[in-house]
Amino acid sequence: MQMISQYKNQGRWLGVLGFLLLGVVFPLQVSRAAEPVLAIKETVAAPPVTMKFDGSKVRIVADDPESAAARHQIKLERGKAAIVELPRDARDILVSDPAVADARVRTPRQIYVIGTAIGATNMIFFDEHGGQILNLELLVQLDAKGATDALQRHFPDSNLAVESLNNNLAISGRVPNVAASEQALAIVRRFVDKPENVVNLLAVEGDDQVLLKVRVSEMQRTVIKQLGVDLFGTLNRGGGSISRFGTSNQFNVSGSLLGGLTAGANKTVPGPGGDPFGPFGGVSIATNSISGVLQALERNGLARVLAEPSLTAVSGESAKFLAGGEFPVPVGRDRDGNITIEFKPFGVGLGFTPVVLSDGRINLRLSTEVSQISNEQAVTLQGLVIPGLSVRRAETSVELPSGGSLVIAGLLQNDIQKSIDGIPGLKDIPILGALFRSNDFQNNETELVIVVTPYLVKGVNEDQLRLPTDGFAPAGDFDSYFLGRLNGIYKRRPNPGTSLQGPYGYIME
């Protein structure tokens, strides 16, 4: 009985020990059997194999020969790494393009995969018997997730997304205006090597259009005064000896006499002269002369320049306008010696790029120009006269509200030039010195103002627009020949519901 109880006690201890062993082993088997096997076809940082994905760790949980022979893909950002855990030891690793990705072996079953450059490559893992464990295709791209997170922080109300396309980042979504689009592009450009590697797929919700009105106003006043006296004399001493003298005063400011009054006088004075063959034994009567020319001019000039170009463009787009023409300018010769011609534009030009900001403010990058052909800057080359240009030009960037005006350029210029030409000493004699000198005076005054005014505009019905040619009627033969009219006399009926005060219609001065 004592032995039986002893065996019973031993059996009880063996039963408890066996129960404990079953309690430890069975949960391990259950947990392993209950562990789900995820077949991920494509993830951001994990290969689409029969594996388990945990953060940046790729764990192979099934050693399936068919799965090992298949190609599986993993997308990895440049400069980031992923961990590959294999079901059995790896002996060899083949990397098709080491410049794109690198593999670091920590243990035979744990390998670090690092994306080093943009591109695509594949890694094949072999065991000690030469069997293929895994064929992993690796696509290294730019950090699109980082760009997306930055956009969400700065534009929380906009649904913007960034996608990696090889060496480019494509940004898509909708933004309220062009200014927001430019800001979003500026953020994404920080995640690429070059600004042109950003593909803009943004859609602007607003269809803002900007009408820019520019006024170029200039007044020029010119005063020119010229006064000079030229003297010419002839002294006949007889015997064929004649002495001549004279003054020729130049108007250095203007270059020459520009017109005005030219008056002259001549005086002949007889006097003695020596002549050895004369009837009086060497004494004769000689003729001496003196003449003078008076030149005088006073000119007052006034010039008025007013140009008001207008141009409309969509926000964010550039527009150009030119009303004028082009004139030929010789620029060289060809192989045959013929003169080559290049045409230069002139007239009223306007170019600008508007960007509509928040609260209806408009950012403008504009360039305006008013040019005219001028003979003052003309150049003569081999008998060919090349005219010059008188240019008023302004280029700037400003920010204005819709309907606000701003003077972007102004000029106030006053040039005074005066010169006195004459005979040294004689020109300084009071009163009589005016006969031996010339005066040239020129005064140029210029006032120039350039004003810009942007407007936010929308399309309207065609019936609400009026053209300068509306209602114009050419004159008939009777009006043209007998009355000297250029256009016919007409009246326009007012629209119903409107009341017009005073004369109305087309006016030609």
Tokens of 396: 């700037």
The amino acid that residue 98 corresponds to is P
pTM of the model: 0.53
Decide the pairing of beta strands 132-141 and 71-77.
Answer: parallel
CA distance 29 to 35: 10
Condensed to tens digits (0 to 9), the pLDDT of residues 125-150 reads 888 888 888 888 888 888 888 888 88
Q: Can you name the residues that pair with 297 across neighbouring β-strands? A: 226
Per residue of the chain (509 residues), give pLDDT as tens: 333 344 344 445 545 444 444 444 434 333 333 333 333 333 333 334 444 444 445 555 445 555 555 567 788 888 888 888 888 888 888 888 888 888 888 888 888 888 888 888 888 888 888 888 888 888 888 888 888 888 888 888 888 888 888 788 899 888 877 778 888 899 998 888 888 888 888 887 766 788 999 888 888 888 888 887 777 777 776 655 666 767 776 776 676 677 767 777 776 766 655 554 455 444 455 567 777 777 788 888 888 878 888 899 888 788 998 888 888 888 888 888 788 888 888 888 889 998 888 777 888 999 988 888 887 777 777 777 788 888 888 899 999 888 898 888 888 888 888 888 777 877 778 877 777 778 888 888 888 888 999 998 888 888 888 887 777 788 888 888 888 888 876 655 555 555 555 555 444 44
CA angle 490, 494, 496 (to 5 degrees): 150
Choose among 141, 146, 88, 91: nearest CA to 119.
141
Q: Where are the alpha helices (DSSP H) in 355-482?
A: 477-481
Q: Can you name the residues that pair with 446 across neighbouring β-strands? A: 220, 413
Choose among 403, 509, 413: nearest CA to 452.
403
3-state SS string for 334-375: CCCCCEEEEEEEEEEEEEEEEEECHHHEEEEEEEEEEEEEEE
